[in-house]
Amino acid sequence: LIRFFKWQFLLNTLSIKTKFKDSFAIFFSGLSMTLVPGKLGDTIKSYFLHKKYNVNVRLSLPVIFVERLTDVFGLLILCFLGLSSLFLNLTFLLSIAAIFIFGVIILLHERTFYFMVKIFSKIKFIKKYLTNVNLVHESLKKLLSIKNLFITIIMSTLSWGLEAFSFYFLVHALGIDIPFITLVFIYAFSTLVGALFFLPGGLGVTEGGLVSLLVLVGTPLSIATFSTIIIRLTTLWFGIGLGLVAFYYITRKINH
């Protein structure tokens, strides 16, 4: 729900007007595509906005990009908060943060942005998507303002933090006494690494990270495995289920 309100906030920033019920269904329909590598399936939301409200895809795609970008920053913040409880090297997390901050600066710098567009336009299958890029750049500048970044990163941190709290609640229900801040780090770090590998839903990498780190802090392997299965069922797979319902609803509404 928090991520939906972030989506709605970003749409409002670009003056994309929709009915609340439709926007709700379009946002959740994106969850049905979670297993598409790199979260590229989220672009279905741009398709539905175009079909239902004739919103230019190049106007709405930056919203999806900023959603993912702020999710990464939210997870990084949770990782940094959790590091206080673990003896881990900061280099990896600082490197990721630096790369994403540098990426934002490049996107906002007009000359650099168009230089990158010129380079990518030489690739045939990408070239056709790079028309009218000034609309994309203007959208990004609005979405990535200091105020908007602050609001959306806070929302991302809160939403991922609630998932981490669910993980804490689950692990403690299974009788394992691990500090909350430690479990926040384990959940955020495993999710972040899974996302960076561009695998469908982070499958395999995220689960491996959760089990390994739980065992590292003293959790029996059987309980670490069981808690990982349950948290993934109640987050990733629950979300996909919701997404399929929303996808069915919005496609019926568009086709009728």
User: Within 13 Å of residue 231, how many CA atoms lie on the same side as its CB?
Assistant: 33
> pLDDT tens digits, residue range 100-114?
677 776 666 666 655
Query: What is the pLDDT, as a whole number, of residue 219?
Result: 93
Cα 34–Cα 39–Cα 43 angle in degrees, nearest 5: 95
Q: Which helix (H) or strand (E) holds 105?
A: helix 91-108
34 versus 184: the higher-pLDDT residue is: 184
Residue 82, both tokens: 């959790």
> Which residue is associated with the tokens 């995220």?
206
CA 239 to chain centroid, in Å, comes to 13
Query: What is the pLDDT, as a whole number, of residue 106?
Result: 66
State mean pLDDT over 162-175. Answer: 95
Residue 186, both tokens: 């384990």
110 versus 95: the higher-pLDDT residue is: 95
CA 107 to chain centroid, in Å, comes to 18
Range name among 81-95, 178-192, 205-219 with the lowest pLDDT average:
81-95
State mean pLDDT over 132-151. Answer: 81
Compute the mean pLDDT over every residue in the chain, rounded to the nearest whole number. 84
Cα→Cα distances 136→30, 144, 147, Å: 20, 12, 19
DSSP conformational letter for 233 = I
| Cα–Cα nearest to 65, from 127, 152, 194 | 152
3-class DSSP string for 41-75: HHHHHHHHHHHHHCCCHHHHHHHHHHHHHHHHHHH
Contact yes or no for 62/136 (Cβ under 8 A): yes
| Cα–Cα nearest to 138, from 110, 104, 115 | 110
Q: What share of the chain is helix, strand, coil (3-state, %, to 5)?
A: 80, 0, 20
State mean pLDDT over 127-141. Answer: 67
Q: Where are the alpha helices (DSSP H) in the chain?
A: 2-13, 20-29, 44-53, 57-82, 91-108, 110-120, 124-127, 133-143, 146-173, 180-196, 205-216, 221-232, 238-255
Query: What is the pLDDT, as a whole number, of residue 86?
Result: 59
> pLDDT tens digits, residue range 62-90?
899 899 889 988 998 888 887 765 555 56
Residue 14: pLDDT over 70? yes
Query: What is the pLDDT, as a whole number, of residue 140?
Result: 83
DSSP conformational letter for 234 = I
Residue 231: pLDDT over 90? yes
Residue 97: pLDDT over 90? no
Residue 19: pLDDT over 70? yes
Range name among 32-41, 64-73, 116-125, 230-239 with the lowest pLDDT average:
116-125
Residue 124: pLDDT over 50? yes
> Which residue is associated with the tokens 């970008």?
69
178 versus 135: the higher-pLDDT residue is: 178
Amino acid identity for residue 167 in this structure: F
Residue 54: pLDDT over 60? yes
Query: What is the pLDDT, as a whole number, of residue 125?
Result: 45
